[in-house]
Amino acid sequence: MVGLSKSRIIVHRQCPKRLWLQINRPDLLQVEGPTEARMAAGTNVGEVARSIYPDGVLIDGDSLRQAMEATQDALKSRSSPIFEATFQHQGVLVRADLLLPDAGQYRMAEVKSSTGVKDYHQADAAVQTWVARGSGLDLSRVEIAHINRSFVYQGGNDYRGLLHHADITEQIRPLEQQVPDWIAAARATLAGNEPNLAPGDQCHSPFECPFITYCSPQAVALTPAEDQFPIEILPYGGALAASLRSEGFVDLRDVPEARLSKPMHVRVWRATKHDTPELAPLAGEHVRALGYPRYYIDFETMQFVVPIWAGTSPYDQVPFQWSCHIEASKGSMTHTAFLADGSGDPRRPFAESLISTVGNAGAVIVYNAAFERTRLRELAESLPDLAPALNNIIERMFDLLPVARENYDHPDMRGSWSIKAVLPTIAPELAYDGLEVGNGGMAQEAFAEVLHADTPHHRRDQLRNALLIYCERDTLAMVKIAHYFENATAA
């Protein structure tokens, strides 16, 4: 009989087929970057949680038996925190993140990298509690230790206050009673053949299933081909698309214009129906009114679950890179950039170099200004001496995104005005395909590797070069889009 663990039971609750495949066909498993990042974040938070209790005992061992014996030895003192305490009850194995002494008993805390308690955390804790209590552990309460978003790191590796302990003892009592049924169901699944379950919501909630490619090979076939335009490309049109589907419409080009009431939907439909891009003259008027100099800027940011720089909080978006194409006059273009060296908090050098570059006059052109404005406001708050100059940059911002959204349509954009959707229709030679760093998520991963102490110098140089190329591509894209709008509609 295959042994069960808490994680296997939770996997079975998400999808029985997933557990069966995990045990019987692990060769089909495909772990994507976001899943790996989430697991790494959880590991990091767990390590930091232990550092908060320096007198704690970490349960380790070459075998399950040794780990269980070490747990029982550690429990005898009832005076020290225990990490990874190992219990087994009725063939189910669990390891507790934290066992904390509590007036002769223990309170058990599961450490999570989220900023609150999720529904699936309670099921997770219910299994943990059922096994621990079944093994004879006297628990005073059960907690989820999750990230305290308001925590501000002061430096010195002092992370006291990073975790908020939420008491869920009462909430999980009804779930504890269901655990034996969960166990029986999981064992029945593993004792049989591969479950015949159709793909559905369980493929994505609470986590993306690593077997989705195997279970949904048709997903590739359902990806719109170059000559297909499903009605779902209508922006912000989920309800309308569902209604049109129920009426038998599949391709947007077959939908009667009279069924569309929003001007945006009509524009997308018209460009798609006639296979012709549309550019309203107002787009050019907006851009030509900017004058010179023009500063096209783009930021890259890094989020840490566990902050590493003093004055930052969990999940803060800390800017570490900017690119700027400078158009001093018509036909005059230069480029400059900043990329943190990874030796310390990048916020001040980021801000000071940006201020020096864009000065105090001229349009600062961005694509989706909400992001850059928010980052600059955060910098102004943390660096008050630079606040006037940073606020000046905010006041000068000009956002290309609404100009594109309100005035430009191309059938190949398929209802999206993201810069990566618009750019290929204007300057296909600048596509992001083939770049080592090709999107914001990859930029975060690359910079994290730059920061890692074990990254070799040659690899760090390679990553820095890839980051510079990617960010420069973003601002050059803005230049191309602005010039297209300006020139294509010029009198």
What's this model's pTM, rounded to 2 decimal places? 0.84
Looking up tokens 């001496």 gives 385
Predicted local confidence at residue 40, as pLDDT: 65
Cβ-in-10-Å burial (0-12, 13-18, 19+) of 163 comes to buried
CATH number at residue 69: 3.90.320
Query: Would residue 88 count as lying in a domain?
Result: yes
Q: What share of the chain is helix, strand, coil (3-state, %, to 5)?
A: 50, 20, 35
Q: Could you give the CA distance from residue 360 to residue 85 in angstroms, rounded to a whole number? A: 59
Residue 164 gets the label, from left (phi > 0), alpha (psi -120 to 50) or beta, of beta
Residues 299 and 167 in one domain: no
* Rounded percentage of the chain residues whose pLDDT exceeds 90: 69
Predicted local confidence at residue 32, as pLDDT: 64
Residues 183 and 296 in one domain: no
Query: Would residue 68 count as lying in a domain?
Result: yes
- For residues 150-176, give the mean pLDDT: 95
* Rounded percentage of the chain residues whose pLDDT exceeds 70: 95
Query: Would residue 253 count as lying in a domain?
Result: no
Looking up tokens 């959707």 gives 421
Query: Would residue 102 count as lying in a domain?
Result: yes
Predicted local confidence at residue 357, as pLDDT: 97
CATH number at residue 479: 3.30.420.10
Domain boundary among 135, 170, 191: 191
Predicted local confidence at residue 35, as pLDDT: 54
User: For residue 151, what are the domain limits?
Assistant: 4-191
Query: Would residue 391 count as lying in a domain?
Result: yes
Predicted local confidence at residue 60, as pLDDT: 86
Query: Would residue 13 count as lying in a domain?
Result: yes
Tokens of 171: 């909430």
Count of structural domains, the chain: 2
Domain boundary among 156, 191, 226: 191
Residues 172 and 294 in one domain: no
Residues 185 and 298 in one domain: no
Predicted local confidence at residue 79, as pLDDT: 82
pLDDT in tens, 449-475: 999 889 999 999 999 999 999 999 999
**Preceding amide of 293 cis, omega within 30:** yes
Domain boundary among 164, 191, 218: 191
Residues 179 and 306 in one domain: no
Query: Would residue 393 count as lying in a domain?
Result: yes
